Amino acid sequence: MARDNAPKERQRKQLERKLGRRASYDRILIVTEGTKTEPNYFGEIRSAFRLHTANVGIYPGALGTAPLQVVEYARQLFEEGDRHRHISPRAFDQVYAVFDRDSHASYHDALTRAEQLDGTLRNDNRQKVPFRAVASVPNFELWLLLHYENVQAPIDRNDVLARLRQSFPGYEKGADNAFATTSPRLSVALERAAALAERLTARDEPEPFTAVGLLVDLLVNLKVR
């Protein structure tokens, strides 16, 4: 009678999870201003594309929600790691700090700080690490709205939410289905966000802008890069 290898296979998978064994593609660290909306959205992408949690770490900022605090926590988490979360120091190949313009006083300082850190940190393989600010003007929901509308003019955060809910009924911050609901129109949103980026930057407020599409494009294609 053939031996049942199922118990050994289960043990092997449990050991892999325990050790946090990563896949061969880049290790991405994402630190977000929001505690639910952005982590849930990027977590959906990670699940949908079966990205290993050891390769794509998604964490809310632990120093506060001001943009500069988000950037500094991303730097701290990268450099020092977090033993409680089983994150080793410098164990990533790319770092992204996700935050909104809104009315944050430290917004421009955060953009400058991210630029200063870009390419100056080295990971555990002694490779220089891209450190990018993923900013949205006025907020993250602009990225979701671009799936439905080609926004070209300055828009208030409250108007973003109101217009988004016309196409995405029932949307609330912290939604756990934002990617699943909007993904059929992902290519449209990527094109619109890229078109905005061709003529505007994160500093050209109050003009609409979002770099979220760049991070989304990276994640959905991470396994084939």
Look at strands 121-122 and 128-129 and give their pairing: antiparallel
Question: What's the confidence (pLDDT) of residue 10?
Answer: 60
- Note whether 202 and 214 are within 8 A (CB): no
Residues of the chain with confidence (pLDDT) below 50: 1-2, 12, 15-20
162-174 pLDDT per residue, tens = 999 999 999 999 9
3-state secondary structure of 32: strand
Question: Which residue in 102, 192, 107, 110 sits closest to 147, CA to CA?
Answer: 192
Question: What's the confidence (pLDDT) of residue 2?
Answer: 46
Other C-beta atoms lying within 10 Å of the C-beta of residue 1: 3
182-217 pLDDT per residue, tens = 999 999 999 999 999 999 999 999 999 999 999 999
